[in-house]
Structure 1
């Protein structure tokens, strides 16, 4: 009889231990679920903040092509933030005169002419022809240092990109903008390379 009681006691202890392990496993699983939920929530918050900052900072003004309506030019959101259309020719203006007078001329507000030559608004979408392959470090370098494609040894960003002003955003704000841009609809559009001023041509 003592052996039976002893066996029952051991079995009870084993059951209690097993129950405790299962409870601990469920607790850990629940904690993991909470962490995932918190991470997802934080990411959603970053996306919303980034979208808001992109809107109020005027990124669409230059990086989203315009379409003509009966109310004048408006943002073509089907090509949002895709930059200067690859198949659109340069502005048909007297570049020498524009460069001498220091004037800027735009074409759908994605191409600009001035003393620096011709600059084109970049593709900011998540496509590989945009910033799809960028890292957060590239983005911070582009905005903080004004470097093309965020490469420290790259050329400087050209007007009218107001990177000197945007550089005053906090790290959190820049991170939010980058998070949002990486979430945008990818639009394949290879923006033309900038052109130097005609005064810099050989023989000038």
Structure 2
């Protein structure tokens, strides 16, 4: 009888111990999952930072000014072979009466990569990762340039010119700008030296 009681007690303790261990094991994955979910980066609902950046570049209309155009049966279209490479360095600005335009406050563009206005002539920059574009830029430079509208992202540099200086990119979050920079670093590099802006015709003597 005494041996039976001892045996039953041992079984009960063993079952209780196994049950407790099992519960503890069940708790571990839940805690791990919760921690992992909390630490998972938020890329605006996209799987990766680069995908998020691509989306922001698309909806932000960056291609409108920074990608040269080619003529198609349906009209002008982005030239995908030169995507985001800026105004072609060998392409002259449209020939117009700049003094007449400037005096009337008019703005003219031929393919959206070169803009003529009261401020002079501005040319869209090369945003590809080629050394002639953003190849040697740091993330910090990129954020500084867009946040402060400063060319080259360097303190003391010249201000960005219209129409870029009129764009609302300065209101983007740091994470959004970092995603854009990450995406731009993945696109095809295109060699094309950005053309420097030309002063207004009326300012010349």
Shorter-chain TM-score bucket reads 0.7 to 0.9
TM-score normalised per structure 1: 0.76
Q: Deviations over 1:154-180 (max 9, x none)?
A: 010011114551111111100000001
Q: CA deviation at 1:83?
A: 0.3
From 196, 199, 202, the equivalent of 2:202 is: 199
**Within 5 Å, which residues of 2 pair with 1:37-116?**
45-116=48-119
Report the Cα distance in structure 2 between the residues aligned to 1:185 and 1:117, rounded to whole angstroms: 31
Cα separation, 1, equivalents of 2:202 and 2:101: 11
Unaligned runs of 5+ in 1: 1-37
Q: How many residues align?
A: 163
Contact 1:79/1:187 (8 A) holds in 2: yes
TM-score (norm 2): 0.76
**Would you say the 8 A contact 1:144–1:163 is kept in 2?**
no
**How do residues 124-203 of structure 1 correspond to structure 2 at under 5 angstroms?**
124-162=127-165, 165-202=168-205
Please say if residues 85 and 126 of structure 2, whose CA atoms lie closer than 8 Å, have aligned partners that are also in contact: yes
CA separation of 1:162/1:58 partners in 2, compared to 1, >3 Å: closer, same or farther? farther
- 8 A Cα contact 1:143 1:163, kept in partner: no
Report how far residue 64 of structure 1 moved: 0.2
Secondary structure of 2:96 counterpart: coil
Residues 63 and 144 (structure 1 numbering): CA distance in 2 closer, same or farther, change over 3 Å? same
4+ runs deviating over 6 angstroms: none
Please state how far the C-alpha of 1:51 moved relative to its aligned partner: 0.4
Structure-1 separation of matches of 2:153 and 2:166: 12
Match of 1:10 in 2: none
What secondary structure, in the 3-state scheme, does the structure 2 residue paired with 1:167 have?
Answer: helix
The Cα RMSD (Å) is 1.8
- 2:143 counterpart SS class: helix
Deviations along 1:41-78, one digit per CA (max 9) or x if unpaired, are x8960100000000000000000001111111011111
Give me the whole-angstrom Cα distance separating, in 1, the residues matched to 2:135 and 2:191.
Answer: 10
Contact 2:50 2:179 in 1 (8 A): yes
In the alignment, the residues of structure 1 paired with residue 115 and residue 105 of structure 2 have an alpha-carbon distance, to the nearest angstrom, of 12
